[in-house]
């Protein structure tokens, strides 16, 4: 499979350890090409590369308090291109956090845990499934 | 003389002949059905036949001398006809409409007639009535158009019918899928609702509260019955209803079932009579669960619709040969009965004999539909006899196989055993709702219950605490039930009884469960009584067989705080990736510990929150016990609510020490990996 066919995924997290572990897990799948960013700012700068999916930490300004947080990054991504699906990650298993993410048009919300990767995988599959359905719908709508 | 005479005679004869010839011609003209008219060169009518007088409705006298063109709807056109006749000498098939009482359409054919010298005297015109012709022509066209239309419609109808069939088929499939999905989806939360309601009922409640909670429970029970009914029907529709072939004792089965109705029957002051044919073989092969369901439906109907009198349940042996028996079951009541014209409908879905009866007697009208669907696929038949106001008899005939086998007595319903109340149960289950359910059920039994979200957590718990029995879900993330059991049996060498829990009966491979060291299995949704019986039986067995050994398992191994299993699995034992991960941890963690300590001392709650927050994911990556993750989460909570508590400093210390220990151990691992390279 050549590089062009791969699905480009952005991983954004200021927790280097978790970022690395996710990157390792994704790297085991041939169809994904992974780019990691420790800050939201860097992620936004590279949006022109047109990632298929962005996985974004909710709490991005944990260490550097002046950095922009996940929601701000999310808004900036949606401003750039509202169609890029963004999956939010957080170690907080809190409903308000999840709702907040959804209000800012995140595609889904995943709690950082051992099963996070499996969940992410399923969600990414879902994203492509939805995109396919939407494409089909568009096709039919055009013909109606 | 003779000749003159003869000539005269001849002339006379000729005259006579010509006169008769004229008369003959005249009669022919008069007999014609087509109107015939002679007109003068001026266009006046000079002579006509009978047909013209008929069609115009005027006498010959009236007609003679009038203007020919007056008798047509379009006189101008009529004048053209006679002009044409006199100009060309003839006219052919000229269409006109006679102004008669019905506006007859005619075609004109005519020619002039001349005298001996060749002077034109007038014209003879024949009008052929083409009304009939026109009508036939019109009808033909109409018929043709109609035929074409009909064909088109037929094609359309065929197309519509085909697509409708398709839609209907899809709809039926979708409905079945929906019903079956919804029933499953509804059942899960309903189990929790009923379960917790039961728990609430056991607490101290005021009379009013008890009344309300009871109402919730009764509604919940009713809803579950309905959902089960729907699910059953969906299963039947989808062809998924399967029937077991297991040996069972009919008499025992029947008695147990009727026992269920005794309170209700006493309450309504009815009499329950049983007639049991003693010739029926003791043990039969069939599906006792479905039989229960059928009888349950029929008897509960009988009880529901009978206010006074008796209910008779009779079981008769109809036929018996070497291998098979046919048994007729009948439930007779003295209830409201069913009108004759309604009898046909009662076995249909959502039908009750009277539209009002569901309001009066409750129920969904699904019961009898289910009975029919349960009996017929088994090769049986149902029938009903009823008289309005007198009562009804519902009967069904079912075939069973005979057998020599003995029935394995299912464990009788065990009353709560007073001695067996302090059983420590470890429930390994990933779904939060199922965890709650199991906790509910076990609380009901008075057992102590601990929950582990997956096999790995269960093993950790087993290392620090002693349990009497494990209930192990098979499908779990991280470490499934098989892996966990294998680890417990082979690596930890613990003999604790393990019961497998599984949601899907069809895919469960019990042989595999046994082979891996599980003692028994229970299918979800969990039946309270089965659960209790199996737990008690296994625990009793275990206690009696190794009463002394249990003391020794108290020894807890000194364990490392880290566990690289997760990392190994995730990196597929890639030493480079592992080294990278460990190096990252070693790089990231010490500053975090510092930040945590400093922010705690400075009471900088925001920084404390942030640093602890960032630590959390690393625990599971490095396989550090989730207890510490919980501690970190607690600190986080304190930090975010800024509630100072004495425990918090203790917890910060605990986190620090575990992280320091982890760093130390990881450094050793990192060195090991580097040396191996």
Say if B570 is an interface residue toward chain A (CB within 8 Å).
yes
DSSP per-residue letters across A48-107: GG--SEEEEES-TTSS-TTS--HHHHHHHHHHH-TTS-EEEEES---HHHHHHHHHTT-S
Choose among A24, A63, A117: nearest Cβ to B614. A63
Mean pLDDT of B60-81: 80
* Dist. CA B172–CA B245, nearest whole Å: 30
For B203-219, the pLDDT digits (tens) are: 888 888 888 888 787 77
Structure tokens at B386: 């009823």
- Tell me which of A114, A115, A116, A121 to substitute to probe the interface with B (most B C-beta atoms closer than 10 Å): A114
Q: How far is CA B265 from the centre of its chain?
A: 35
Distance between A109 CA and the closest CA of chain B, angstroms? 16
**How confident is the model at residue B365, as a pLDDT?**
62
For B355-368, the pLDDT digits (tens) are: 445 444 555 566 78
In chain B, the largest separation of any two C-alpha atoms, in whole Å, equals 178
Domain with residue A122: its CATH number is 3.40.50.2300
Choose among A17, A59, A62: nearest Cβ to B584. A17
H helix intervals, B313-409: 357-361, 367-375
* For residue B49, pLDDT beyond 80: yes
**How confident is the model at residue B507, as a pLDDT?**
42
**How confident is the model at residue B74, as a pLDDT?**
79
More confident residue, B275 or B1: B275
Beta partners for residue B39, in sequence order: B45, B123
ipTM for this prediction: 0.70
The strand order across the sheet containing A32-37 reads A32-37, A7-12, A53-57, A86-90, A108-111
Count of A-B CB contacts under 8 Å: 65
Q: How far is CA A125 from the centre of its chain?
A: 13
**How confident is the model at residue B493, as a pLDDT?**
83
Nearest residue to A125 via CA among A107, A144, A100: A107
Judge: B587–A25 Cβ closer than 8 Å, yes or no.
Answer: no
**How confident is the model at residue A43, as a pLDDT?**
92
Residue identified by tokens 């993330």 is B477
Judge: A18–B585 Cβ closer than 8 Å, yes or no.
Answer: no
**How confident is the model at residue B559, as a pLDDT?**
60
Q: How far is CA B610 from the centre of its chain?
A: 50
Contact B78, B72 (CB under 8 A): yes
* Dist. CA B549–CA B551, nearest whole Å: 5
* Dist. CA B300–CA B260, nearest whole Å: 10
| Apex B297 CA angle, B294 and B301, nearest 5 | 145
Most confident of B111-115, B271-275, B550-554: B271-275
Judge: B571–A24 Cβ closer than 8 Å, yes or no.
Answer: yes
**How confident is the model at residue B312, as a pLDDT?**
92
**How confident is the model at residue B359, as a pLDDT?**
45
Residue segments in chain A with a per-residue pLDDT below the cut of 50 = 1-2
Mean pLDDT of B596-616: 83
**How confident is the model at residue B328, as a pLDDT?**
93
* For residue B621, pLDDT beyond 60: yes
Structure tokens at B308: 């006074």
For B415-468, the pLDDT digits (tens) are: 455 566 678 899 998 877 778 778 877 887 788 888 898 888 888 888 888 888
* Dist. CA B442–CA B444, nearest whole Å: 5
> Angle, to 10 degrees, between the axis of helix B367-375 and the axis of helix B288-305?
150
For B344-357, the pLDDT digits (tens) are: 777 766 555 554 45
Residues in chain A: 144
Distance between B620 CA and the closest CA of chain A, angstroms? 6
For B320-334, the pLDDT digits (tens) are: 888 889 999 999 998
% chain B with pLDDT above 90: 4
Say if B571 is an interface residue toward chain A (CB within 8 Å).
yes
The separation between the first and the last C-alpha atoms of chain B, rounded to the nearest angstrom, is 168
Coil, strand or helix: which one is B272? strand
* For residue B234, pLDDT beyond 70: no
* For residue B319, pLDDT beyond 80: yes
Distance between B581 CA and the closest CA of chain A, angstroms? 6
For B296-308, the pLDDT digits (tens) are: 888 888 888 888 8
Contact A89, A56 (CB under 8 A): yes
Judge: B477–A115 Cβ closer than 8 Å, yes or no.
Answer: yes
Residue identified by tokens 């002077």 is B119
Global pTM?
Answer: 0.35
* Dist. CA B613–CA B639, nearest whole Å: 10
Structure tokens at B191: 């189990």
What domain range is A83 assigned to?
3-143
Mean pLDDT of B115-121: 80
Distance between B555 CA and the closest CA of chain A, angstroms? 29
For B525-555, the pLDDT digits (tens) are: 677 777 888 888 888 877 766 543 333 333 3
Number of domains in chain A: 1
Number of other residues whose CB lies within 10 A of the CB of residue B607 = 19
Residue B21's pLDDT band, with cuts at 50, 70 and 90, is confident
Structure tokens at A64: 């550097």
For B473-495, the pLDDT digits (tens) are: 877 777 888 888 888 888 888 88
Choose among B477, B584, B607: nearest Cβ to A16. B584
In sequence order, which residues have a C-beta less than 8 Å from that of residue B377 and are 6 or more positions away? B236, B241, B243
On average, the pLDDT of chain B sits at: 78
- Return the minimum-mean-pLDDT range out of B86-90, B120-124, B307-311, B406-410: B406-410
**How confident is the model at residue B511, as a pLDDT?**
67
For B622-647, the pLDDT digits (tens) are: 888 888 888 888 888 888 777 666 67
């Amino acid at each position: 499979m050549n590089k062009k066919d791969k699905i480009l995924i952005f991983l954004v997290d200021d927790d280097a350890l978790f970022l690395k572990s996710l990157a390792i897990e994704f790297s085991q799948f041939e169809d994904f090409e992974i780019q990691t960013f420790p800050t939201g700012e860097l992620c936004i700068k590279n949006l022109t590369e047109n990632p298929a999916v962005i996985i974004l930490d909710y709490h991005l300004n944990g260490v550097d308090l002046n950095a922009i947080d996940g929601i701000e990054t999310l808004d900036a991504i949606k401003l750039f291109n509202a169609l890029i699906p963004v999956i939010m990650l957080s170690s907080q298993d809190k409903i308000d956090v999840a709702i907040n993410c959804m209000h800012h048009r995140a595609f889904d919300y995943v709690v950082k845990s051992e099963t996070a990767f499996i969940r992410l995988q399923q969600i990414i599959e879902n994203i492509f499934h939805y995109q396919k359905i939407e494409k089909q719908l568009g096709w039919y709508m055009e013909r109606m | 003389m003779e000749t003159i005479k003869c000539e005269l005679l001849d002339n006379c004869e000729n005259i006579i002949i010509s006169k008769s010839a004229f008369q003959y011609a005249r009669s022919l003209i008069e007999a014609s059905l087509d109107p015939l008219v002679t007109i003068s060169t001026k266009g006046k009518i000079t002579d006509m036949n009978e047909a013209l007088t008929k069609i115009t409705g005027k006498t010959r006298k009236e007609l003679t001398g009038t203007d020919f063109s007056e008798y047509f709807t379009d006189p101008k056109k009529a004048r053209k006809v006679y002009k044409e006749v006199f100009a060309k000498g003839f006219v052919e098939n000229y269409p006109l409409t006679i102004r008669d009482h019905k506006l007859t359409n005619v075609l004109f054919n005519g020619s002039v007639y001349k005298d001996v010298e060749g002077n034109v005297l007038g014209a003879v015109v024949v009008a052929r009535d083409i009304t009939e012709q026109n009508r036939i022509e019109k009808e033909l066209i109409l018929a043709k158009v109609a035929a074409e239309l009909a064909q088109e419609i037929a094609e359309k109808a065929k197309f519509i019918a085909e697509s409708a069939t398709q839609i209907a088929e899809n709809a039926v499939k979708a409905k079945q899928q929906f019903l079956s999905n919804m029933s499953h989806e509804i059942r899960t939360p309903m189990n929790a609702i009923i379960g917790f309601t039961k728990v609430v009922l056991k607490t101290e409640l005021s009379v009013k509260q008890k009344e309300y909670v009871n109402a919730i429970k009764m509604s919940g029970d009713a809803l579950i019955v309905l959902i089960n009914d729907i699910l059953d029907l969906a299963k039947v529709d989808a062809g998924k209803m399967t029937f077991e072939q297991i040996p069972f004792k009919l008499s025992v089965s029947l008695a147990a079932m009727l026992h269920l109705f005794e309170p209700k029957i006493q309450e309504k002051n009815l009499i329950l009579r049983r007639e049991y044919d003693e010739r029926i073989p003791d043990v039969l092969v069939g599906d006792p669960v479905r039989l229960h369901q059928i009888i349950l439906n029929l008897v509960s109907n009988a009880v529901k619709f009978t206010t006074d009198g008796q209910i008779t349940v009779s079981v008769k042996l109809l036929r018996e040969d070497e291998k098979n028996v046919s048994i007729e079951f009948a439930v007779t009541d003295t209830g409201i009965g069913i009108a004759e014209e309604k009898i046909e409908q009662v076995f249909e879905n959502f039908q009750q004999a009277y539209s009002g009866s569901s309001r009066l007697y409750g129920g969904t009208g699904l019961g009898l539909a289910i009975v029919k669907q349960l009996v017929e696929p088994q090769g049986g038949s149902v029938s009903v006899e009823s008289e309005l106001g007198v009562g009804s008899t519902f009967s069904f005939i079912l075939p069973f196989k005979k057998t020599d086998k003995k029935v394995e007595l299912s464990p009788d319903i065990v009353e709560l055993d007073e001695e067996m109340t302090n059983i420590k149960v470890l429930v390994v289950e990933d779904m939060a709702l199922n965890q709650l359910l199991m906790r509910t059920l076990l609380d009901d039994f008075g057992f102590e219950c601990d929950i582990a979200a997956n096999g790995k957590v269960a093993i950790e718990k087993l290392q620090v605490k002693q349990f009497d029995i494990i209930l192990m879900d098979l499908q779990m993330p991280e470490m499934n039930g098989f892996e966990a059991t294998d680890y417990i049996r082979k690596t930890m060498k613990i003999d604790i009884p393990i019961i497998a829990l599984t949601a899907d009966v069809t895919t469960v491979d019990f042989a595999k469960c046994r082979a891996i060291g599980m003692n028994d299995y229970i299918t979800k949704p969990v039946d309270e009584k089965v659960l209790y019986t199996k737990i008690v039986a296994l625990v009793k067995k275990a206690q009696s067989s190794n009463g002394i050994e249990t003391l020794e398992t108290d020894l807890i191994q000194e364990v490392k705080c880290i566990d690289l299993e997760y990392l190994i699995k995730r990196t597929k034992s890639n030493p480079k990736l592992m080294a990278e991960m460990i190096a990252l941890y070693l790089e990231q963690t010490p500053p975090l510990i510092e930040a945590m300590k400093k922010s705690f001392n400075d009471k900088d709650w925001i920084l404390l929150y942030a640093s602890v927050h960032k630590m959390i994911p690393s625990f599971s990556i490095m396989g550090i016990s989730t207890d510490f993750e919980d501690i970190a989460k607690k600190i986080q909570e304190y930090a975010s609510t800024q509630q100072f508590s004495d425990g918090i400093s203790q917890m910060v210390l605990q986190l620090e020490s575990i992280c320091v220990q982890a760093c130390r151990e990881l450094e050793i691992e990192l060195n090991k990996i580097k040396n191996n390279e």
